[in-house]
Amino acid sequence: MKKILVPVDFSKPAENALRVAAEIARKNNSELFVLHVVEMAETLFGTEQFNVNDEQIIFFLKLAKKRFSKFLDKSYLEGIQVTDLVEVGSPTMNINEVLSDQKIDLLVMGSNGASGLDEILIGSNTEKVVRHSPVPVLVVKQELKKLDINTIVFASNFAKENLNAFKKAKAFADSFNASLHLLYVNLPGNQFYSSEEITLQVSKFLEAADLADFKNISIYNDYTIELGVINGSRALGADIIAMPTHGRKGLSHFFNGSIGEDVVNHSTLPVITFKI
């Protein structure tokens, strides 16, 4: 994690994300990129109705940079290499461009909490970022005065397609010397599996990952996967929930439909996602 990106909108959740990103950067000797996007639809540039001309864009950029300078005047950023970026246009497009151009290793974003994904930092754009980002995305909910990462829970159905995400989650845990726990959520009805069936599935998964002797494995019974991930992680004393994402087809098969987004949305714990 040599390069970390934090998109900010000067809000309290954005500052929470920046504080967490700063601690991660300090622990890993990483460079921090902080991005603010002056959000304007590209179709509005130069239109007579909105009269968004070059001078006005320059004015908005100067205003944002002045506010940005004040926002970044934080004691917890001292000693960290920080690159501030102010862009104009679509937040999602600008984030993707910075991820690619700067070869970012980790994206950290802030969230207001459980009021819908449109409450996360930059609106509905964040759902797209979380789902499609080629790099891990860490979503921070509450203010963390100190980042203590001792236990990370990786929730999965342990299908082979999740191996790459699991390896990334393990590398993330190792970078903090944190304990990694595997969590399988067992559901009632026709989605119920016996302990023997689940154990066999997890064993095959770990063998494929060359970690046959891995012992931190838990099965949690609940009514939905979302509740099982949140409640199971809390029961295990997790500091962070980790889970895979599946790109354009939505989240991995385990996180059917919007379940992954629901976990990100409703968990009070930080959630980090890894693209399969």
Give dist(CA 213, CA 199) in Å, integer. Answer: 13
Q: What is the pLDDT of residue 251?
A: 41
Task: State the DSSP H helix or E strand holding residue 183, giving kind and residue range, or none if neither.
Answer: strand 179-186
Distance CA 269, CA 111 (A): 11
Q: In CATH, which superfamily holds the domain spanning 151-275? A: HUPs (3.40.50.620)
| Class (C level, CATH) for 3-140 | alpha beta
CATH 3.40.50.620-classified regions of the chain: 3-140, 151-275
| Amino acid found at 138 | L
The token pair at 235 is: 């029961």
Looking at residue 93, its pLDDT comes to: 85
> Quick one: 154 exposed, middle or buried, by C-beta within 10 A (0-12, 13-18, 19+)?
buried
Question: Distance (Å, rounded) from C-alpha 207 to C-alpha 217?
Answer: 14
Mean pLDDT by 10 residues, the chain (276 residues): 91 89 92 87 48 62 78 91 87 90 94 52 58 88 79 94 93 93 92 91 94 93 93 96 71 49 82 88
Which ranges of the chain would DSSP assign to H, the alpha helix?
Answer: 12-28, 54-71, 91-101, 125-132, 163-175, 195-208, 225-235, 259-266
Model pTM score = 0.84
Cα 230 from chain centroid (whole Å): 16
How high is the pLDDT of residue 13? 85
- Backbone conformation region of residue 189, classed left if phi is above 0, alpha if psi is from -120 to 50, else beta: left
CA distance 275 to 216: 23
pLDDT at 33: 97
